[in-house]
């Protein structure tokens, strides 16, 4: 079905019509008999790309499935998501990766790109089938043991060497387990002491970021730092990016989550497990450093770390509850609320263009010009939105934004020329 998107403001600048042919491509004139979308007053951006989504299928379909997670993604303005490997079983073989990729295609609402595990079973010891996953139909290029740190430097070095052969990247959950006890569940600081909760110190993240940038340099490979959460990590990244640019032989990229841009560890005073997440919410000084780093390009991308959990895993005493919070449907509004000064081209850069480049998704994050696939999100820029966790398409309700007011609303999403969300509602529903 061809489509005409009328009167959108392209990246918040000039007003234009966008034409989509029935192959889902942007073209330069209106196709006959096209479906029409009135986009007056809406900002058009390339469809968002999430480097870090937990879809829970296979294994925990009570918390999320590839279909329900795809629905949440479309509602959030996404046209591609990278599905993390910590499923049951783990995505550590070509078969497992291909299955996730196929289920994503069947759902058909966003491109679901599997992330492969770095190590077999996320065990941290033996490399997974990195080459086979890459050569499978899923074409895996991003590898991560997310949820766990690849803490053995020798294994990390081998992983970086291996993925280099095909231009892949290791996305690291930077957290040295030897600097925090196994029961760590929040930021280590004055507050955790008062609350009697065991914590992760910021340094547990920073030493791994520092180690890994040196390993990436040593191996001339690519490392991506998942969910950066401390000012110290930002300092290391700033140095490393300058160094990588001078060397020209290796690279480091980094992402930050929406929740680390807006929420602080002070929320833990009520012991509400909704705010339990890994890496943990940090103090305001860290939040300020993360915002500045995203605005100045030290941090390349926003990634949700959408981590749905069933009630029976999340609604426990703080120390026993699962880590994580949902985030696909609110990410854009949280970014706009946390960084209102970010221009629309910058929002497109950190939520679409750069994540697509990091993930090697050539048809995502493209300029909205003829010849590009029609992956588009249309946003009402100044809408005030009150989040209702029960209005979510996710199967899970661990939503830290419930009842909060955020700025900007995703109105329509178009994936490969198909309208997946119209007037804020799923079209397949």
Shortest gap between Cβ of 145 and ligand DOR (angstroms)? 10
Give the residue with the Cβ less far from ligand DOR, 147 or 258. Answer: 147
Give the residue with the Cβ less far from ligand DOR, 2 or 396. Answer: 396
Q: Is 399 annotated as a binding residue?
A: no
Provide the binding-site residues for ligand DOR, judged by CB under 6 A. Answer: 54, 86, 146-147, 173, 277-278, 307, 323-324
Q: Is 22 annotated as a binding residue?
A: no
Shortest gap between Cβ of 164 and ligand DOR (angstroms)? 25
Give the residue with the Cβ less far from ligand DOR, 104 or 324. Answer: 324
As beta bridge partners, residue 379 has 43, 410
CA 79 to mean position of chain CA atoms: 12
Shortest gap between Cβ of 154 and ligand DOR (angstroms)? 23
**From 212, 286, 300, 305, the catalytic residue:** 305
Nearest in space to 208 (alpha carbons), one of 243, 232, 184: 232
Handedness of CA 225, 227, 230, 231 (dihedral sign): positive
Shortest gap between Cβ of 308 and ligand DOR (angstroms)? 8
Q: Is 360 annotated as a binding residue?
A: no
Q: Which helix (H) or strand (E) holds 1?
A: none
Query: How far apart are the C-alpha atoms of 177 and 208, rounded to whole Å?
Result: 10
Q: Is 139 annotated as a binding residue?
A: no
Give the residue with the Cβ less far from ligand DOR, 37 or 122. Answer: 122
Alpha helix stretches (DSSP H) within 220-300? 231-247, 258-262, 284-296
Q: Is 402 annotated as a binding residue?
A: no
CB 200 within 8 A of CB 180: yes
Query: How far apart are the C-alpha atoms of 127 and 162, rounded to whole Å?
Result: 9
Give the residue with the Cβ less far from ligand DOR, 54 or 336. Answer: 54
Residue nearest to ligand DOR (CB): 324
User: Cα Rg for the chain, rounded, in angstroms?
Assistant: 20
Q: Is 417 annotated as a binding residue?
A: no
Nearest in space to 149 (alpha carbons), one of 50, 223, 235, 222: 223
Active site residue 145: no
Shortest gap between Cβ of 210 and ligand DOR (angstroms)? 20
CB 427 within 8 A of CB 419: yes
From residue 17, alpha-carbon distances to 4, 5, 20, 48, 133 in Å are 7, 6, 10, 20, 40
**Residues of the binding site for Zn(2+):** 52, 54, 146, 173, 227, 305
Q: Which residues are catalytic?
A: 305
**Residues of the binding site for substrate:** 54-56, 86, 278, 309, 323-324
**Residues of the binding site:** 52, 54-56, 86, 146, 173, 227, 278, 305, 309, 323-324
């Amino acid at each position: 079905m061809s489509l005409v998107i009328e009167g959108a403001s392209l990246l918040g600048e000039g007003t234009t019509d966008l034409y989509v042919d029935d192959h889902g491509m942007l073209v330069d004139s209106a196709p006959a008999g096209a479906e029409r979308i009135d986009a007056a007053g809406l900002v058009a951006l390339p469809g968002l790309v999430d480097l870090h989504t937990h879809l829970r299928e296979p294994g925990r379909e009570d918390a999320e499935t590839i279909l329900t997670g795809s629905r949440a993604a479309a509602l959030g303005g996404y046209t591609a998501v990278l599905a993390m490997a910590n499923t049951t079983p783990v995505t550590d073989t070509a078969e497992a990766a291909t299955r996730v990729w196929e289920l994503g295609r069947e759902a058909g609402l966003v491109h679901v790109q599997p992330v492969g595990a770095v190590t077999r079973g996320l065990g941290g010891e033996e490399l997974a089938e990195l080459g086979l996953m890459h050569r499978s139909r899923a074409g895996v290029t991003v590898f991560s043991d997310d949820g766990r740190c690849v803490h053995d430097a020798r294994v990390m070095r081998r992983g970086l060497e291996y993925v280099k052969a095909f231009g892949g990247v290791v996305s690291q959950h930077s957290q040295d387990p030897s600097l925090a006890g196994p029961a760590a569940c929040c930021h280590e600081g004055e507050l955790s002491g008062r609350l009697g909760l065991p914590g992760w110190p910021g340094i547990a993240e920073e030493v791994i970021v520092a180690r890994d940038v040196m390993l990436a340099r040593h191996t001339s490979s690519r490392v991506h730092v998942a969910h950066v959460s401390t000012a110290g990590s930002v300092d290391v990244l700033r140095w490393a990016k300058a160094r990588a640019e001078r060397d020209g032989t290796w690279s480091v990229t980094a992402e930050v989550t929406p929740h680390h841009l807006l929420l602080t560890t002070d929320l833990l005073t009520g012991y509400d497990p909704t705010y339990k997440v890994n890496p943990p919410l940090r103090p305001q000084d860290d939040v300020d450093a993360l915002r500045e780093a995203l605005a100045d390009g030290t941090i390349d991308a926003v990634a949700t770390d959408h981590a749905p959990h069933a009630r029976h895993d999340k609604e426990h005493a703080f120390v026993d509850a699962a880590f994580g919070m949902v985030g696909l449907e609110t990410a854009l509004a949280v970014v706009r609320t946390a960084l209102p000064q970010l221009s629309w081209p910058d929002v497109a850069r950190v939520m679409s263009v750069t994540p697509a480049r990091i993930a090697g998704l050539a048809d995502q994050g493209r300029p909205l010009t003829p010849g590009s696939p029609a992956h588009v999100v249309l946003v009402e820029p100044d809408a005030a939105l009150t989040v209702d966790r029960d209005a979510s398409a996710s199967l899970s309700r661990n939503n830290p934004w419930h009842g909060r007011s955020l700025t900007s609303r995703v109105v329509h999403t178009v994936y490969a020329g198909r309208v997946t969300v119209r007037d804020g509602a799923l079209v397949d529903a």
